[in-house]
């Protein structure tokens, strides 16, 4: 549910629930995106991680 | 036929995919082993098709038992799978690096438990294609909304945590993009471990909290702290206590079946020690909660302790849960002599895992079995074969994923040196 949905109410329950939910999703997918970007930069710079086997 | 088997390795040699320095059984033997999880998944498919096509009348759930074996299994595996978040938390956040050799296995087992539970709940909700309604039409006053948010999000975290093990496969890691991505994921894993800890803390708690706020169900209802009933904290404590035991137990079973040493015994002993002391703490609070419930809470509601237990859900369940599968494994696991013995430690861990499963069973089934209105009677519940079929998904899916992961992924980094 997003704040523009008709069911949304600006009360403490919605703010806490969805604030934490979207907050943690942002952390997870933000970190994942940064890791993908760093990998792309590493590859472009030629910093390839060789497997240990 | 014999010639075909003799010729097979030429065409089906998958040894270049095995983790470095390990040995696995021949592909045809592995395919025969795969028959076990595939049979269970076929059993699940029959039950699932019947329940989805004909409805929940295929189950023995009714107006009394809105929750059945699916919820018991769901709560049990989510509790047992807590080894993933707690071991990751100790390894990545606290810095207990002695647990590094077992953290991959813990994450894999957690992934199996959570994804298996979510798949099973897909059938339980009746219309899986409407599963997203819980997110869009969220009831923010429900503990279960929090559980649903956290379990699904944590399943994503577990998938990300498992990804480096998949990318570290001997063949896959040769692809520079995958190898580098896996390396970068390893370096940032603390963020995912911390996010997983946050999510797990709340959904483990809310699963217990849901029972504690069932004010019309005297077996489950409890007082608490603020909006959180005591069961909120007891479920967290029990999950973090037993999760490491379940992880270690699965590793020990794998060692016995494969005939290979996978982790040093000192790592297992450390897991046992963590589990044992946390179990002692949990049992102190659980015993105090039970005494307070029996001598204060129930009399205040005009009920007695005796009212809560009827055959087949008699007092024996309480003694088995708190005594035989609670205090006994707790006291066993805190002793170094017991932990030093492979067999005794396994027994203690097995008892602890049975204890938490029984705890989830009584909260789900016994709470609903007790009459709460004057015209109601005491009922007992036995799942139908279709329900067992759907519950077997967790086992079938778990075996399948674990067998494939054990064969192809570097889940146990100590295996090569222990089997030289």
Interface contact A49-B183, CB threshold 8 A: yes
In the predicted structure, residue B389 carries a pLDDT above the cut 90: yes
- Total of domains in chain B: 1
Chain A partners within 8 Å of B198 (Cβ): 24
Q: Please provide the average confidence, as pLDDT, over all residues in chain B.
A: 94
Burial class for B220, CB neighbours closer than 10 Å (0-12, 13-18, 19+): buried
Interface contact A27-B195, CB threshold 8 A: yes
The CB-side HSE value for B296 (13 A sphere, CA atoms) comes to 8
Shortest Cα–Cα distance, B380 to chain A (Å): 36
Instruction: Compute the distance between CA of residue B378 and CA of residue A51 in angstroms, rounded to an integer.
Output: 62
Span B163-197, pLDDT tens digits:
999 999 999 999 999 999 999 999 999 999 999 99
Looking at the partner chain, which of A27, A43, A53 has a beta carbon nearest the beta carbon of B20? A53
Instruction: Compute the distance between CA of residue B82 and CA of residue B354 in angstroms, rounded to an integer.
Output: 15
The SS3 of residue B319 is helix
- Measured in whole angstroms, the distance separating CA B232 from the mean position of its chain's CA atoms is 17
Query: Is B192 an interface residue toward A (CB < 8 Å)?
Result: yes
For residue B3, being part of any structural domain is answered with no
For residue B16, being part of any structural domain is answered with no
In terms of pTM, does the model score above 0.90? yes
> Residue B93's closest CA among B13, B193, B11, B162?
B193
Instruction: Compute the distance between CA of residue B158 and CA of residue B91 in angstroms, rounded to an integer.
Output: 15
SS3 content of chain B, % helix, strand, coil (to 5): 75, 0, 25
> Residue B65's closest CA among B388, B278, B383, B356?
B383
For residue B2, being part of any structural domain is answered with no
Confidence of residue A6 (pLDDT cuts 50, 70, 90): confident
Tell me which chain A residue has its CA closest to the CA of residue B148: A21
Span B24-42, pLDDT tens digits:
999 999 999 999 999 999 9
**Residue B139 falls in which region: left (phi positive, over 0), alpha (psi -120 to 50) or beta:** beta
For residue B420, being part of any structural domain is answered with no
Interface contact A39-B160, CB threshold 8 A: no
Interface contact B181-A47, CB threshold 8 A: no
Looking at the partner chain, which of A24, A39, A50 has a beta carbon nearest the beta carbon of B184? A39
User: What DSSP string runs through B92-135?
Assistant: III--GGGHHHHHHHHHHHHHHHHHHHHHHHHHTS-GGGTTHHH
The CB-side HSE value for B140 (13 A sphere, CA atoms) comes to 17
Span B221-242, pLDDT tens digits:
998 888 899 999 999 999 999 9
Helices H, strands E: what count in chain A? 1, 0
Supply the range of the domain harboring residue B241.
Answer: 22-413
CB-CB contact of B137 with B101 (8 Å)? no
Any residues with CB less than 8 A from the CB of A5 and at least 6 apart, and which?
B136
Interface contact B176-A48, CB threshold 8 A: yes
| Best mutation target, B144, B171, B179, to test chain A (most A CBs within 10 A) | B179
Shortest Cα–Cα distance, B105 to chain A (Å): 20
For residue B47, being part of any structural domain is answered with yes
> Residue B218's closest CA among B124, B151, B304?
B304
For residue B9, being part of any structural domain is answered with no
- Interface size between A and B, measured as CB pairs under 8 A: 73
Q: What CATH number has the domain bearing residue B345?
A: 1.20.1630.10
Asked if omega into B40 is within 30° of 0 (cis), the reply is no
Instruction: Compute the distance between CA of residue B152 and CA of residue B213 in angstroms, rounded to an integer.
Output: 23
| Distances in whole angstroms, Cα of residue B320 to Cα of each of B199, B242, B281 | 31, 16, 18
Interface contact A53-B199, CB threshold 8 A: no
For residue B14, being part of any structural domain is answered with no
A residues 8..47 contacting B (CB < 8 A): 13-14, 16-18, 21, 24-25, 27-28, 31-32, 34-36, 38-39, 42-43, 47
Shortest Cα–Cα distance, A4 to chain B (Å): 12
Tell me which chain B residue has its CA closest to the CA of residue A11: B140
For residue B11, being part of any structural domain is answered with no
DSSP B341: S
Chain A partners within 8 Å of B166 (Cβ): none
Shortest Cα–Cα distance, A12 to chain B (Å): 10
Tell me which chain A residue has its CA closest to the CA of residue B170: A53
- Work out the average pLDDT over A32-36: 97
In the predicted structure, residue B118 carries a pLDDT above the cut 70: yes
CB-CB contact of B267 with B328 (8 Å)? no
Question: What pLDDT is attached to residue A13?
Answer: 86
ipTM: 0.93
The SS3 of residue B187 is helix
> Cβ of B109: how many Cβ atoms within 10 Å?
31
CB-CB contact of B204 with B239 (8 Å)? yes
Instruction: Compute the distance between CA of residue B127 and CA of residue B133 in angstroms, rounded to an integer.
Output: 10
User: Residue B114 is encoded by which pair of tokens?
Assistant: 């959570």
In the predicted structure, residue A51 carries a pLDDT above the cut 80: no
In the predicted structure, residue A17 carries a pLDDT above the cut 60: yes
| Least confident window among B192-196, B311-315, B316-320 | B311-315
Strand boundaries in B202-338, DSSP class E: 224-225, 228-229
Instruction: Compute the distance between CA of residue B186 and CA of residue B192 in angstroms, rounded to an integer.
Output: 10
> Residue B400's closest CA among B19, B18, B41?
B41
């Amino acid at each position: 549910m997003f704040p523009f949905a008709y069911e949304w109410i600006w009360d403490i329950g919605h703010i806490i629930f969805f604030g934490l939910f979207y907050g943690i999703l942002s952390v997870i997918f933000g970190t994942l995106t940064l890791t993908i970007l760093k990998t792309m930069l590493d590859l472009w710079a030629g910093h390839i991680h060789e497997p240990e086997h | 036929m014999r010639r075909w088997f003799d010729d097979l390795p030429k065409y089906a040699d998958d040894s270049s995919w095995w983790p470095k320095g390990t040995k696995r059984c021949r592909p045809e033997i592995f395919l025969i082993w795969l028959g076990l999880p595939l049979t269970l998944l076929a059993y699940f498919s029959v039950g699932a098709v019947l329940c989805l096509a004909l409805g929940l009348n295929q189950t023995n759930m009714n107006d009394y038992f809105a929750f059945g074996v699916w919820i018991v299994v769901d709560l049990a595996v989510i509790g047992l799978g807590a080894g993933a978040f707690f071991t990751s938390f100790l390894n990545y956040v606290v810095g207990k690096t002695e647990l590094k050799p077992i953290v991959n296995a813990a994450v894999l087992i957690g992934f199996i438990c959570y994804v298996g539970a979510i798949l099973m709940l897909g059938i339980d909700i009746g219309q899986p294609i409407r599963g997203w309604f819980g997110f869009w039409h969220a009831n923010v006053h429900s503990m279960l909304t929090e559980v649903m948010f956290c379990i699904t999000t944590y399943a994503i975290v577990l998938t990300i945590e498992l990804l480096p093990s998949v990318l570290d496969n001997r063949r896959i890691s040769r692809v520079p993009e995958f190898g580098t991505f896996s390396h970068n994921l390893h370096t940032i894993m603390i963020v995912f471990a911390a996010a997983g800890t946050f999510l797990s803390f709340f959904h483990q708690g809310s699963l217990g909290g849901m029972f504690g706020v069932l004010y019309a169900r005297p077996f489950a209802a409890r007082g608490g702290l603020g909006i959180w009933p005591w069961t909120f904290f007891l479920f967290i404590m029990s999950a973090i206590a037993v999760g490491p035991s379940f992880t270690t137990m699965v590793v020990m079973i794998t060692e016995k079946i494969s005939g290979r040493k996978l982790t040093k015994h000192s790592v297992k002993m450390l897991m046992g020690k963590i589990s044992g002391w946390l179990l002692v703490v949990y049992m102190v609070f659980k015993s105090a909660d039970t005494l307070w419930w029996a001598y204060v809470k129930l009399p205040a509601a005009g009920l007695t302790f005796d009212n809560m237990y009827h055959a087949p859900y008699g007092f024996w369940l309480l003694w088995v849960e708190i005594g035989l599968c609670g205090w006994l494994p707790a006291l066993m696991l805190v002793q170094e002599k017991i932990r030093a013995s492979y067999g005794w430690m396994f027994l203690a861990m097995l008892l602890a895992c049975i204890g938490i499963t029984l705890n989830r069973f009584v909260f789900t089934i016994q709470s609903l079995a007790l009459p709460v209105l004057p015209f109601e009677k005491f009922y007992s519940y036995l799942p139908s074969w279709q329900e067992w079929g759907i519950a077997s998904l967790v086992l079938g899916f778990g075996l399948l994923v674990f067998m494939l992961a054990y064969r192809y992924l570097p889940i146990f980094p100590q295996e090569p040196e222990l089997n030289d």
